[in-house]
Structure 1
Amino acid sequence: MTDTPTKPVPRGHEVIQSYLRTLDASPGVYRMLDEKGAVLYVGKARNLKARVSSYARPTGHTPRIARMIRDTASMMFLTTRTEVEALLLEQNLIKQLKPRYNVLARDDKSFPNILVSKEHAFPQIKKHRGAKKEKGAYYGPFASAGAVNRTLNQLQKVFLLRNCSDATFESRTRPCLLYQIKRCSAPCVGYISEADYAGLVSDAERFLQGRTTKVQETLAAEMQAASDAMEFERAAALRDRLKALTYVQGSQAVNPAGVTEADVVALHMEGGQACVQVFFIRANQNWGNRDYYPRTGSGAEAAEVMQAFVTQFYDQKDPPRLVLLSDEIEDADLVSEALSEKAGRKVRIEVPQRGEKKDLIAGALRNARESLARKMSETATQSKLLAGLAEAFDLDAPPSRIEVYDNSHIQGAHAVGAMIVAGPEGFVKSQYRKFNIKGEDLTPGDDFGMMKEVLTRRFKRLLKEDPDRQSDAWPDLLLIDGGAGQVSAVHEIMVELGVEDVPMVGVAKGIDRDLGKEEFHRFKERPFVLKRGDPVLYFIQRMRDEAHRFAIGAHRAKRSKAVGATPLDDVPGVGATRKRALLAHFGSAKAVARADLSDLKAVEGISDTIAETIYDFFHEK
């Protein structure tokens, strides 16, 4: 009996041609898939039939598009009501599926804001990240936590607003150190009236809105009045605040007079790589910048890279009224319409050719060029280190994804497992994961048991989500903090899960637990060491230290949460606001638990129904 040869799966422009008779002129999104069903490319079209027919031609394509067409074995289509809907759907699918030939903006972190809280008679000024649920005025976005912290530091010097929590505020009996160093007006102990503090808040908000001239005029007038009245101590304090405000204005890196609110987006491409710099201009001030390194979809042109970056960047972020770009994009009107729809107001997109806006773009482009040069230099160094790692550990090829595992606990309490990821571009922080240790049968401090639980959960999930190992989520190398015992314990788990082919190395402290004398353990092989001064050894130490830092941070966060927990956290219907009201009224959770029903009903913000729920919760127990 002879085997019948399998027929090759048809691919290329002929396959694409076969779909044309089923398509019409509707707007929509198309997906191009390879012979295994993996998505190669996601695109949007104003007219699906016209767009797909352009791929059906055998010639006239760029090398990138020709490769994509050659790999295409099938297609999928979704029609939409409008082209704007198609654009939004396209970018959502790109972020979800990460196709090889699409441009992908890989950093999707939220940006911090400054919040002037309005839930208290003496508002607090603080950093805020995430959903804007708290009542107050939000100012931002800022490019980084560092940019927010610098601005908050300046605001404290000039406007003397408190940054302590409400609980700390209520418990103070004397002013804190910030008052002593002239960075707070001490409203907690009554050193300033509610009306005067409200004036400081108003001045701070005017500053954050860019209306600094009015603030300066007011401070100068108050200083002169105090001097005329021979209130020299008050005049000196106002002089210090005025001096601090002048310094703040002079220290701003960019103060564009003609641009009140804009994001400045500049793209530099070189050697198949791209860097996008985004500067945030708010209230005529530079509120920081951040660089991004989008994946260029195997060689996309600048217009496509820029358009994909802009649409993906604002998917989860509020766009400003003006977006300044260094490069033209294909569908500027369409993107502007999509951003306007998202923001609920007009959003303009411009590619400036002259004047102050052009200067802003030039500055951002210079930063993008310098950042990409640094990145490419670091990548070249990283490639050498990965090659050296492959040689040291007898790997088939330099690893693209290294996972490093560590645990952190104190005598078994608040145990946390941590995984960090490194690869050709260094540490991939978006891929870091923490694992709250759940095993109730573990002996406190059982590091072997903790590591086994972490690896079991990690690889069970991988096997469930990607059993065929099609994605880049599978590691090429595991580094475990520990020696032969840890390696044996992990190997046992990997055998049970059927993933024995993932290389694994244990990193032990070695003789005298001395840095530089690390021993490396592989299953059923003799331990070995690397020479002192070997760059690969330093690389491994950096990865292990990063895993240790991340594990300790996760452990401290878990411990802090446990320390701040109270029995009120478990009461149905009692959230953060009611919890604060109850603690402010009774002083402690224990006093709440002992309180009579009538006393609970007397608390502001606690309804009769909630009071009964709280009373029943503690007294039924």
Structure 2
Amino acid sequence: MIDFDLKKIPAAHGVYLMKGDDGTVLYVGKAKHLRNRLRGYFSAAGDDRAHIRFLMDRVCDIETIVTDTEKEALILENTLIKQHRPRYNINLRDDKTYVSLRLDPREEFPALQVVRKVRHDGAFYFGPFASSSAVRDTLKEIYRIFPLRHYPLATCRRRGRPCLFFQIGQCSAPCHGRISGAGYRELVDGVIAFLSGRENDVLRMLRKKMLAASDELRFEAAARFRDQIGSIEQTIERQKMVTPAGGDQDVLGLHREGGEVEVVILFVRQGKLIDRRGFAIDWKLDEDELLSAFLQEFYGREVVIPEQLLLPLLPENAAALAEWLGERKGGRVEMTVPRRGVKRELVELANRNALESFRERGSRREAIDGVLEEIHRRLHLSRLPKRMECFDISNVQGRQSVGSMAVLIDGEAARAEYRQFKIRTVAGADDYASLYEVLRRRFNRGRDDGVLPDFILIDGGRGQLGVVDRVLDELGLMGRIDRAGIAKSRVVSNVRGRALERSEERFFLPGRKNPVLLRPGSPALFMLERLRDEAHRFALTQHRKLRGKAAFSSILEDIPGVGPARRKVLLRHFGSLKRIREATLEDLSRVSGLPEAVARNIFSALAQSGD
């Protein structure tokens, strides 16, 4: 235990950082009263939380930072956690990406965008949606009722005629003047009302237009309004009303069992339950501190923040949290523990969901543990492969080589841990040298931050496995990490030399001559193949991005008057290659230092390349 003088700790609001013997930040916490908070760690009884006892054995130094208010301490704690990523703070390993719909009413003809970050930019944001498929279903419904444009205006205006979506009635083709600005604005207002949950307002508006069109003998228009009304009414029937009061709420539920806690959030928008998300936290925190840390971690991301949070209990720093959330949202956020009525029923529903999620995760955990144990046994590993990493190299004819690392933690894809490596030291198509560079960079960093895999899977055979052994030996990690190579199925001739047969996936192990074969269709084989395929997919994704950027850069290089300096000016002005490609001639003409003739050349060249 660290020898620490509490009298030197200030009796004030602030943040404390607990550090290891090498200066690494192990834990970041906040307190209304720093001295009292730290006294709890050094009392005779000690802190009874298992992870805190484990932590204190490793703490060699504590640094404190004083703040003026509790809210400042909360914000500073959040910043330091993001900066240092301490291993003993809450880390929500959430592989799913939150998506929302964005609509900017200031655009000439506003369009819906699927975005992953919510920014304070004056646009409307709707969501969150759990998956891209949920967004696609919503957009399909919207475009049938309100045919907004699908593509950037600049792209559409370069076409000679409206796109296919116009032909099937899911786009109003503002790019080709098929709808007036006022008519398009009515569509936008309808979309905003629809996504905001004000379907009844939309229905009243459409019924009024239907009757007016009928009175004016515009029967095709009246029929179109009738179909829109029918589509909205069907949508309303499919949605579940959960509270007559309406409004936007996030409802949190907790289930705790031993050292494991399951947190569930129900997303309620305008009185409708639109989605649910669960998080497993293997940490023996007090529920009050757990909930406070969870709220900071979750809402510290760029997500939609509702008007109200319904909680099973109120954290000690609720006032500071509500003020911080209000600043992030740009409006008041209420945190409350309902005692009766519909809101209390919602919290109880969230708690029941947390219990069911815990049970489901427990059943899945048992199944995954069985798979990991089979991999451990069949591949003769020295430890259970809790963290598995797979590496892959991708290039085209020796150019633009990239490496990728996919990660499974406890059998689940940990996409936040995936990494891509642009090959720096290897010229040409030398997969062995590229793999050597990638592994050296990965494990050098892993030694420094203390994050190393239990098991490495290499896409390849004995040659690639030899590269792994060389790197581990050079870095003094031999014996610390298990490894295997997975070779793709071979295609061989049968005994007559005619028909072709496919062998099974083969796993090569260090010091073993014959490869290991796993039972076809077994969960262990499926998990390892999935890891290999993820690394391959991730490498190809990065490779396509590099090829696209290179191809676009070559287009700019071929345009008269556009040299390296002007390419930098264009990128600085538009922010990305994608926005340069989407720019209109007027947009290009407004770039400082770009002559009008050069702007015309760029616009013409990009228009031709997009055909």
TM-score (norm: length of structure 1) = 0.83
CA distance 1:235–1:569, change in 2 (3 Å): farther
> CA contact under 8 A between 1:110 and 1:130: conserved in structure 2?
no
Residue 522 of structure 1 is matched in structure 2 by 509
Q: Answer with 116-125 or 301-310: which moved more.
A: 116-125
CA distance 1:393–1:215, change in 2 (3 Å): same
Q: CA deviation at 1:474?
A: 0.7
Tell me, in whole angstroms, the C-alpha distance in 2 between the residues paired with 1:411 and 1:489. Answer: 22
Tell me, in whole angstroms, the C-alpha distance in 1 between the residues paired with 2:441 and 2:39. Answer: 46
2:478 to 496, 500, 503: 500
Q: CA deviation at 1:479?
A: 0.6
2:198 to 202, 211, 218: 211
Residue 605 of structure 1 is matched in structure 2 by 590
Residue 605 of structure 2 is matched in structure 1 by none
Q: Does 1:509 align with 2:521?
A: no
**SS of aligned partner of 2:321:** helix
Q: CA RMSD, aligned part only?
A: 3.3
2:340 to 334, 348, 354: 354
CA deviations over 1:95-152 (Å, ceiling 9, x no partner): 5545565444344987332222456532222212336487743334444433333222
CA deviations over 1:586-609 (Å, ceiling 9, x no partner): 6xxxxxxxxxxxxx9x964244x3
1:436 to 404, 422, 445: 422
Tell me, in whole angstroms, the C-alpha distance in 1 between the residues paired with 2:527 and 2:136. Answer: 31
CA deviations over 1:135-194 (Å, ceiling 9, x no partner): 743334444433333222221111111111223311233333323333222323332222
Tell me, in whole angstroms, the C-alpha distance in 2 between the residues paired with 1:60 and 1:506. Answer: 47
Q: CA deviation at 1:411?
A: 3.4
Tell me, in whole angstroms, the C-alpha distance in 2 between the residues paired with 1:606 and 1:40. Answer: 48
Q: CA deviation at 1:271?
A: 4.2
Tell me, in whole angstroms, the C-alpha distance in 2 between the residues paired with 1:540 and 1:100. Answer: 27
Q: Does 1:162 align with 2:146?
A: no
2:187 to 200, 211, 219: 200
Residue 572 of structure 1 is matched in structure 2 by 568
Q: Does 1:395 align with 2:381?
A: yes
In structure 1, the gaps of 5 or more residues are: 1-10, 587-599
Residue 50 of structure 1 is matched in structure 2 by 36
Residue 458 of structure 1 is matched in structure 2 by 442
> CA contact under 8 A between 2:391 and 2:403: conserved in structure 1?
yes
**SS of aligned partner of 1:207:** helix
Q: CA deviation at 1:432?
A: 0.7
Q: Answer with 536-545 or 246-255: which moved more.
A: 246-255
> CA contact under 8 A between 1:581 and 1:604: conserved in structure 2?
no
Q: Does 1:551 align with 2:539?
A: yes
Q: CA deviation at 1:35?
A: 6.3
Residue 469 of structure 2 is matched in structure 1 by 491
1:303 to 288, 295, 307: 288
CA distance 1:585–1:76, change in 2 (3 Å): closer
> CA contact under 8 A between 2:457 and 2:486: conserved in structure 1?
yes
**SS of aligned partner of 1:138:** strand
> Which amino acid is 2:506 matched to?
E
Tell me, in whole angstroms, the C-alpha distance in 2 between the residues paired with 1:102 and 1:198. Answer: 48
CA distance 1:476–1:391, change in 2 (3 Å): same
CA distance 1:495–1:101, change in 2 (3 Å): closer
Residue 291 of structure 1 is matched in structure 2 by 278
Q: CA deviation at 1:220?
A: 0.8
Residue 559 of structure 2 is matched in structure 1 by none
> CA contact under 8 A between 1:95 and 1:104: conserved in structure 2?
no
Q: Does 1:447 align with 2:435?
A: no
> Which amino acid is 1:379 matched to?
R
> CA contact under 8 A between 1:402 and 1:479: conserved in structure 2?
yes
> CA contact under 8 A between 2:570 and 2:580: conserved in structure 1?
no
Tell me, in whole angstroms, the C-alpha distance in 2 between the residues paired with 1:462 and 1:71. Answer: 19
Tell me, in whole angstroms, the C-alpha distance in 2 between the residues paired with 1:613 and 1:380. Answer: 67
CA distance 1:133–1:516, change in 2 (3 Å): farther
> CA contact under 8 A between 1:117 and 1:136: conserved in structure 2?
yes
Residue 5 of structure 1 is matched in structure 2 by none
> Which amino acid is 2:6 matched to?
L
Q: CA deviation at 1:322?
A: 1.3
**SS of aligned partner of 2:71:** helix
Residue 338 of structure 1 is matched in structure 2 by 324
CA distance 1:300–1:138, change in 2 (3 Å): closer
Q: CA deviation at 1:301?
A: 3.0
Q: Answer with 24-33 or 540-549: which moved more.
A: 24-33
CA deviations over 1:471-517 (Å, ceiling 9, x no partner): 2x211211111111222233334444444333321111244287771
Tell me, in whole angstroms, the C-alpha distance in 1 between the residues paired with 2:232 and 2:140. Answer: 12
Tell me, in whole angstroms, the C-alpha distance in 2 between the residues paired with 1:348 and 1:341. Answer: 12
Q: CA deviation at 1:421?
A: 0.7
CA distance 1:103–1:439, change in 2 (3 Å): closer
Q: CA deviation at 1:403?
A: 0.7
Tell me, in whole angstroms, the C-alpha distance in 1 between the residues paired with 2:514 and 2:134. Answer: 47
Q: Does 1:538 align with 2:526?
A: yes
CA distance 1:405–1:158, change in 2 (3 Å): same
Residue 592 of structure 1 is matched in structure 2 by none
Query: Aligned residues, how many?
Result: 578
CA distance 1:63–1:364, change in 2 (3 Å): closer
**SS of aligned partner of 2:491:** helix
> Which amino acid is 1:292 matched to?
F
**SS of aligned partner of 1:547:** helix
CA distance 1:530–1:243, change in 2 (3 Å): same
Q: CA deviation at 1:212?
A: 2.2
Q: Answer with 497-506 or 349-358: which moved more.
A: 497-506
Q: CA deviation at 1:398?
A: 0.5
Tell me, in whole angstroms, the C-alpha distance in 1 between the residues paired with 2:597 and 2:474. Answer: 48
CA distance 1:273–1:402, change in 2 (3 Å): same
Show the 5 A alignment for 1:266-281.
266-281=253-268
Show the 5 A alignment for 1:54-93.
54-59=40-45, 61-62=47-48, 64=50, 74-93=61-80
> CA contact under 8 A between 1:404 and 1:479: conserved in structure 2?
yes
Residue 176 of structure 2 is matched in structure 1 by 189
> CA contact under 8 A between 2:145 and 2:231: conserved in structure 1?
yes
Residue 363 of structure 1 is matched in structure 2 by 349
> Which amino acid is 1:547 matched to?
A
> CA contact under 8 A between 1:147 and 1:287: conserved in structure 2?
no
CA deviations over 1:442-497 (Å, ceiling 9, x no partner): 23xx333332332233233334x33xxxx2x2112111111112222333344444
Q: CA deviation at 1:241?
A: 1.0
CA distance 1:559–1:366, change in 2 (3 Å): farther
CA distance 1:349–1:537, change in 2 (3 Å): same
Residue 297 of structure 2 is matched in structure 1 by 312
Tell me, in whole angstroms, the C-alpha distance in 1 between the residues paired with 2:581 and 2:34. Answer: 60
CA distance 1:486–1:71, change in 2 (3 Å): closer
